[in-house]
Structure 1
Amino acid sequence: MTLVAVTGASGKTGWRVVDEALRRGWSVRAIVRPESRLPDALSAAEREGRLDVQRLDLSQTEALQHALSGCDALVIATGARPSPNLAGPLQVDALGVREQIQACRAVGLQRVVLVSSLCAGRWLHPLNLFGLILVWKRLGERWLETSGLDWTVVRPGGLSEDDSRCEREGVLYSTADQQESNSIPRRLVGRVCLEALETPAAIGRIIEITSSAAQPLQPLATWLAAQA
């Protein structure tokens, strides 16, 4: 991968996607909101010239297109945050994803991985008390699926901040609407996103992921090959 862009790169999952990509020696363009504070690891990478950081509002069409120009792939790690604004999930997880899709098409960026959520599209779920978040996530997924881009949707379960779990847990992969609960470290989500970019068989797939110590270690490519 020559240059990968990551939106939502200052968020709890997004910064781990960026950090994992840098550890692999990839060139990364981190796209963050103007007021966002970068985690220490990314701030250091920016100071050292190992990370290109673009600060912009994703609703700024020309700025977003400029930030995506020259990139070979995009990981969309944006997501609505808890807020009194119940329109936030609609604005971020649906309309915000659509804006990013349109920008990709405008600049000829073809490969996109979207971080969504387990149970996306479900109506009867507690998460929907927060502005129908799963409903809007599914709408964002659908816009990506019909975009004509080379897409992959990654649906993680409950997101854990415990990165140490990554070294002792394997990923449980499944197709759409097969899993309903269990969790996964955010860093493992980042690793799966990058594996998806490296794996042509991931294109056009919705991949649900959780993890556990009982699950054997298995690369995404191995699981996808078994699905063929």
Structure 2
Amino acid sequence: MKVFVVGANGQIGTQLTNLLKQSDDHSVVAMVRKEEQAKKFEEKGIEAKIADLEGSVEDIAEAAKGCDAIVFSAGSGGQTGYDKTLLIDLDGAAKTIEAAEKAGIHRYVMVSSLQAHNRENWSEQIKPYYVAKHYAEKILLQSNLNYTIVRPGRLLNEPSIGKFSLTATPDNFSIPREDVAKVLFEVIDNKNTFKRSFDVVSGEETITDALTYLED
């Protein structure tokens, strides 16, 4: 499967593109905003396309043409204001969903956030971020795409643990970014995750075993 990674220059996206590059079953196209970012990926033998989530749907669709799946791993980041959260995490996601439909791409994987679907569990400190993720999910659910929504817990810049749980607790609600990338890699063609959404944090099981417990 040829996978178009949106947010490829981010921490999770970079690790996912590396996993896809090493795979015998998949190939990868990295979507980036700048020429120098594209050169960085091309030097590693990874195809890159330049497109901007604040640009047009048509440009994104053109960049993704010929791919079989889209993974949306982009985010505005903690250093920007909520205006960028709206433009990237919500409208940017919406544009890639429209672009997938225009390009005839049916498989779509979204990185959301832990409990983004449950308003009562949102942190007041970053409530606008949750609002953006919540409605991005809703737009995806209303599309005709074969989706998977991955809701990772608090993201850590720590080495991979390689063990997972689909249930967060007050004492267990974090996950290394490297492990999020592994989850995304696993779900791309995992039929058990088609038309499903789930939280994921560090735990005690392999991701393959953890995903067997997904319910309709």
CA spacing shift, 1:138–1:160, aligned 2, 3 Å: same
Secondary structure at 1:129 match in 2: helix
- For the 8 Å contact 2:90–2:135, the answer to whether it is kept is yes
Candidates 208, 212, 215, aligned match of 1:219: 208
TM-score (norm 1): 0.83
AA aligned to 1:206 is S
Deviations 1:22-74 (A, max 9, x none): 12233110001127747xxx93x5225x2111122122333211111000001
Distance 1:57 1:223 in 2: 33
Percent identity of paired positions between Structure 1 and Structure 2: 28
Contact 2:192 2:214 in 1 (8 A): no
- Over 3 Å counting, the alpha-carbon distance change for 1:35 and 1:201 in structure 2 is same
CA-to-aligned-CA distance 1:121-180 (integer Å, 9 cap, x gap): 436644x534610111010001001111000000000111112x33xx410024xxx656
- CA, structure 1 residues 223+70, in 2 after alignment: closer, same or farther (shift >3 Å)? same
Query: What is the SS of the residue equivalent to 1:112?
Result: strand
1:36–1:203: structure 2 CA closer, same or farther, 3 Å change rule?
farther
Task: Give 2:65's aligned amino acid.
Answer: S
Deviations 1:66-100 (A, max 9, x none): 11100000100011212453222111111111111
5+ residue gaps in structure 2?
none
**1:114-153 mapped onto 2 (5 Å cutoff):** 114-121=110-117, 122=119, 125-126=122-123, 128-130=124-126, 132-153=128-149
CA gap 1:33/1:148 in 2 versus in 1, 3 angstroms = same
Query: Is the counterpart of residue 11 in structure 1 residue 10 in structure 2?
Result: yes
Q: Which residue of 35, 49, 66 maps to 1:54?
A: 49
Q: Letter of the aligned partner of 2:48 in structure 1? A: V
Instruction: Tell me the number of residue pairs that the alignment of Structure 1 and Structure 2 aligns.
Output: 212
* RMSD value, Cα: 2.4
Question: Structure 2 length normalisation: TM-score?
Answer: 0.87
Following the alignment from structure 2 to structure 1, what is the Cα–Cα distance between the partners of residues 6 and 214?
Answer: 31
Q: Is the 8 A contact 1:5 1:68 kept in 2?
A: yes
Code of the aligned partner of 2:165: L
2: CA distance between counterparts of 1:36 and 1:76?
Answer: 21
Unaligned runs of 5+ in 1: none
Distance 1:124 1:4, change over 3 A: closer
Amino acid at match of 1:202: T
The one-letter amino acid paired with 1:159 is L
What does residue range 54-203 of structure 1 map to in structure 2 within 5 Å? 54-58=49-53, 59-83=55-79, 85-121=81-117, 122=119, 125-126=122-123, 128-130=124-126, 132-163=128-159, 165-166=160-161, 169-174=162-167, 182-203=173-194
For 1:129 and 1:225, the matched residues in 2 are separated by 32
Q: Say whether the 8 Å CA contact 1:86–1:130 is kept in structure 2.
A: no
Of residues 24-33 and 178-187 in structure 1, the stretch that sits farther from structure 2 once superposed is 178-187
